């Protein structure tokens, strides 16, 4: 039997496949941003830990300096596109100014990632994502 009228079949098939195709494309873009931001948060913790372990005669205000290092790095490199930009910084020991040569300094940076392209869909599935970067270095 010969099909006589197949006009519009391709349009219907494309309309059925288009939402799935868009979800895959934007999902890849979204998770690319997530992985990039995770790398930048890890780099920020590394830069702050390196700044904190350098030899200094006067270590007062070191926690503030560590926090400023993280803030500056994230401001320059983090991709948020208008996100909250609220992150937390924890150091171990809590008073980095008490470090002596040979002590370990751990800097942990946490950032609540907000999905950009498909926020409602992903947030309902994943329940939100908190990106964490931790670095431990030995004081000089």
Q: What is the pLDDT of residue 70?
A: 93
- What residue spans define the domains of the chain? 9-138
Q: What is the pLDDT of residue 16?
A: 94
Torsions phi, psi of 104, nearest 5? Answer: -100, 140
Contact assessment for residue 108 and residue 52, using Cβ atoms and an 8 Å cutoff: no
Burial environment of residue 129 by CB neighbours within 10 A (0 to 12, 13 to 18, 19 or more): middle
Farthest-apart Cα atoms in the chain, separation: 92
Q: How far is residue 61 CA from its own chain's centroid?
A: 27
Q: pLDDT tens digit string along 99-139?
A: 888 899 999 999 988 777 776 666 666 666 889 999 999 98
Q: What is the pLDDT of residue 99?
A: 84
Q: What is the pLDDT of residue 129?
A: 80
DSSP string, 18-84: HHHHHHHHHHHHHHHHHHHHHHHHHHHHHHHHHHHHS--S--TTHHHHHHHHHHHHHHHH---SS--
The length of the chain in residues reads 140
- Residue 88 has which token pair? 């937390």
Q: What is the pLDDT of residue 59?
A: 78
Q: Tell me how far apart the alpha carbons of residues 10 and 110 are, in angstroms, rounded to a whole number.
A: 48
Q: What is the pTM of this model?
A: 0.82
Ranges in the chain, pLDDT < 50: none
Torsion angle, CA of 72/78/84/87, rounded to 10 degrees?
-60
Contact assessment for residue 65 and residue 47, using Cβ atoms and an 8 Å cutoff: no
């Amino acid at each position: 039997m010969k099909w006589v009228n197949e006009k519009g079949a391709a349009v219907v098939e494309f309309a059925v496949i288009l939402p799935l195709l868009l979800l895959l494309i934007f999902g890849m873009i979204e998770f690319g941003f997530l992985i990039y931001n995770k790398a930048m948060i890890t780099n920020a913790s590394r830069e702050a830990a390196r700044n904190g372990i350098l030899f200094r005669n006067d270590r007062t205000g070191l926690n503030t300096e560590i926090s400023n290092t993280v803030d500056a790095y994230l401001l320059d490199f983090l991709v948020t596109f208008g996100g909250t930009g609220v992150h937390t910084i924890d150091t171990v020991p809590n008073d980095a100014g008490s470090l002596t040569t040979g002590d370990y300094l751990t800097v942990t940076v946490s950032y609540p990632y907000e999905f950009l392209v498909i926020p409602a869909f992903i947030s309902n599935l994943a329940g939100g994502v908190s990106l964490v970067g931790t670095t431990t270095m030995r004081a000089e």
